[in-house]
Structure 1
Amino acid sequence: MIVKTPSKVILFGEHAVVYGYRAISMAIDLTSTVEIKENSDKIILNLNDLNKSLKLNLKDLKEIEPNNFGDFKYCLCAIKETMDYLNIEPKKGFELNISSNIPISCGLGSSASITIGTIKAIGKFYNKPLKDDEIAKLGFSVEKKIQGKASVTDTSTITYKGILEIKNNKFRKIREDFEEFLKSCKFLIVYVEKRKKKTAELVNEVAKIENKDEIFKEIDKVIENALKTYNKEEFGKCMAKNHDLLKKLNISTPKIDKVVDIGNKLGFGAKLTGAGGGGCVIILVNEEKEKELLKELNKENVKIFECKMVY
């Protein structure tokens, strides 16, 4: 049994969302894959991209503390949470093979994607498939247990797919015209550089900025305009404006800014996505200038991923 799960990108509103303002997130087709198959009496977890494996006895599962298992912690916690929720006493073991083409630790929801994929796989394996509402709640619970605190953004976007508006840790799905418009858009995710700081550090630094609320209000106006336009050129300008406001929060870097400038010049628009301090840029592609865009980006020693919305 194979479960493929998308990742996510923040189109607008990172950091502002921490203070109760809106953010717009989108599920994208960079995916993780969880394959589950029966095993006699063990639980075997294989992280194929890291070339790491873990074997556990079935009876040990209830006693373990996932946070003590490093790279395996998200999938172990997802297994435990799902089995507890479904009231499963495992009589047969299983092997999970996990792989992903999502860059890690750069704001694309790689851990949430694997978490949601594992929850779905366990439900299907034991013939107790879960509804989206159940999957999203379990995913949020896993992230909260592993991280200490969590946002609904990653797990909800990856579960429900499409476009979500996040506010006060609640969400609504955006459909119809705006969703149709974004289906027609082609994006590049550009992994620019390793993040120099963790999200929590960046959030704490933004908290010290005196005029942050003025900046967040400006970002909210950008979101309002972006939701009303179905024109790629105007939407790209909204992305560029959001990036300029994020620069005022001191979360960009010189290399991120350089890639954003290339995206603004040869695409319809660009911005950093995620907490900042490095990581990724999202570019709305102008297909008439795409070859030139790729040529310029390739000079910057970056990794480029073509993506579309998953719905």
Structure 2
Amino acid sequence: MITEKAPGKLYIAGEYAVVENGYPAILVALDQFVTCSIEESEAEVGRIISRQYHKNALQWHRLGEQMVVDNRDNPFSYILSAIKVTEEYARAFARELRIFDLHIDSQLDSESGKKYGLGSSAAVTVATVKALCRFYNLPVTKDEIFKLAAIAHFEVQGNGSLGDVAASVYGGWIAYHSFDRQWLAQQRKYLDLRTLIELPWPDLKIESLKAPSNLQLLIGWTGKPASTSQLVDKISLFKARQQKEYHQFLEESKHCIQRMVDGFHNADLEAIKNEIRYNRELLKQLGINSGVHIETPILNKLCQIAEDFGGAAKTSGAGGGDCGIVAIDRNSNFKQVLTEWTANKIEQLPLSVHFIENIKGEIKHHLIKKNNKY
């Protein structure tokens, strides 16, 4: 049996802006995983088995008189897409396709089914691609795994930056600039998959970051899950209607992330904290302008408690629920934050940053080299 795993993620800053080509965000990979195990089937049928996902429900809505099913929050859609794309790649290497059983185990949702917003769809896509690449003995680097998983994920979701896929592939702290997904969709129609994987992708840039030694990351969960896809859809309407305000948000977010990346390079925790606070204000204003509830009252409370004890806090990801993150000096008495969170029914997620080794040299076209280190 072949087993591979992929970590969950959280956004630190740059949400919403990162869905535009070339705009940056900072993410972190966490030590909770989706594990994919694969073995050849002895029967004439294969199975996809998941302890967590068997009770998963589909969402649907009306479009006129039609019933439209939304697969974007269904993990099986990502698993099937990952299989389809990876097997297409395997055929390019003259591999004979086989029948197999696929076992999925996720730590990213709780035993009781709580969804924490840790990027389970990206992680299950990455884990499935990695396992199948080993199953078919495909010569892939992390760069190629990212591209395969990004294609598989995008063909289900249809929006988003794919930054969560990057975090699951490369691990640690990363600065991620989203690539041109319209270009990808167009080239997918005309190019064979192997050629598409080998090409440099427009605007894609990924940089590994080293956090200051005194940076303590705290993660709080609000108890309310949120649908990233649906929130991004709503922001797209604001983009179409108020282009000037949206463009101003993009530019301010870009400069904020650039300053935050400099904070990482200089091991300057205060600079990082200042930009987290600034990014929070940008997102709050985006929410007001668009009518999207990015920072809910409970997320506001989470942030305010952290600020009271010297931390810099904001929503993580699309907002509307899920998690908030805090950057705070690990030498401070940050446990006061956790005590106050508990008193306000905010659950601390006791997660750590997960690093993946052997990144060096594998992002062939896109990784920025800093001070002779990746």
TM-score normalised according to structure 2 size: 0.70
Asked whether the 8 Å contact 1:237–1:268 carries over to 2, the reply is no
Please, which of 222, 235, 243 is the counterpart of residue 203 of structure 1?
235
**1:225 counterpart = 2:259:** yes
5+ long unaligned stretches in structure 1? 54-66
Select between 213-222 and 136-145 the one with higher mean Cα deviation. 213-222
CA RMSD of aligned residues (A): 2.8
| Closer/same/farther in 2, CA of residues 31 and 184 from structure 1, 3 Å limit | farther
Equivalent residue for 2:340?
Answer: 296
Alpha-carbon offset, residue 297 of structure 1: 0.8
Equivalent residue for 1:82?
Answer: 86
| Closer/same/farther in 2, CA of residues 117 and 182 from structure 1, 3 Å limit | farther
Letter aligned with residue 28 of structure 2: M
Tell me the SS of whatever aligns to 2:49: strand
Equivalent residue for 2:215?
Answer: 185
Task: Give the alignment of 1:125-204 within 5 angstroms.
Answer: 125-128=135-138, 130-162=140-172, 163-169=174-180, 170-175=203-208, 179-182=209-212, 185-192=215-222, 193-195=224-226, 198-204=230-236
Distance across 2 between alignment mates of 1:185 and 1:48: 36
Asked whether the 8 Å contact 1:7–1:30 carries over to 2, the reply is yes
Please, which of 264, 275, 289 is the counterpart of residue 318 of structure 2?
275
5+ long unaligned stretches in structure 2? 57-70, 181-202, 288-293, 356-374
List per-residue Cα deviations over 1:222-250 (Å, max 9, x = no partner). 22321222222332222112101110011
Distance across 2 between alignment mates of 1:116 and 1:164: 19
Equivalent residue for 2:186?
Answer: none
Select between 24-33 and 199-208 the one with higher mean Cα deviation. 199-208
Distance across 1 between alignment mates of 2:40 and 2:214: 41
Please, which of 37, 47, 51 is the counterpart of residue 48 of structure 1?
51
Asked whether the 8 Å contact 2:108–2:115 carries over to 1, the reply is no
Distance across 2 between alignment mates of 1:301 and 1:266: 18
List per-residue Cα deviations over 1:196-243 (Å, max 9, x = no partner). 772333323542455233333332332232122222233222211210
Distance across 1 between alignment mates of 2:118 and 2:18: 16
Asked whether the 8 Å contact 2:5–2:127 carries over to 1, the reply is yes
Alpha-carbon offset, residue 86 of structure 1: 0.5
Equivalent residue for 2:104?
Answer: 97
Asked whether the 8 Å contact 2:212–2:268 carries over to 1, the reply is no
Distance across 1 between alignment mates of 2:83 and 2:108: 22
Distance across 1 between alignment mates of 2:312 and 2:326: 6
Asked whether the 8 Å contact 1:7–1:102 carries over to 2, the reply is no
Distance across 2 between alignment mates of 1:196 and 1:153: 16
| Closer/same/farther in 2, CA of residues 32 and 258 from structure 1, 3 Å limit | same
Letter aligned with residue 217 of structure 1: E
Equivalent residue for 1:62?
Answer: none
Distance across 1 between alignment mates of 2:271 and 2:143: 34
Equivalent residue for 2:4?
Answer: 3
Equivalent residue for 2:307?
Answer: 264
Alpha-carbon offset, residue 98 of structure 1: 2.5
Please, which of 98, 113, 116 is the counterpart of residue 123 of structure 2?
113
Equivalent residue for 1:59?
Answer: none
Distance across 1 between alignment mates of 2:73 and 2:284: 37
TM-score normalised according to structure 1 size: 0.83
Distance across 2 between alignment mates of 1:79 and 1:14: 29
More helix by share: 1
Distance across 2 between alignment mates of 1:96 and 1:196: 25
| Closer/same/farther in 2, CA of residues 206 and 296 from structure 1, 3 Å limit | farther
| Closer/same/farther in 2, CA of residues 91 and 139 from structure 1, 3 Å limit | closer
Letter aligned with residue 23 of structure 1: A
Letter aligned with residue 6 of structure 1: P
Give the total of aligned pairs.
295
Equivalent residue for 2:362?
Answer: none
Distance across 1 between alignment mates of 2:14 and 2:73: 33
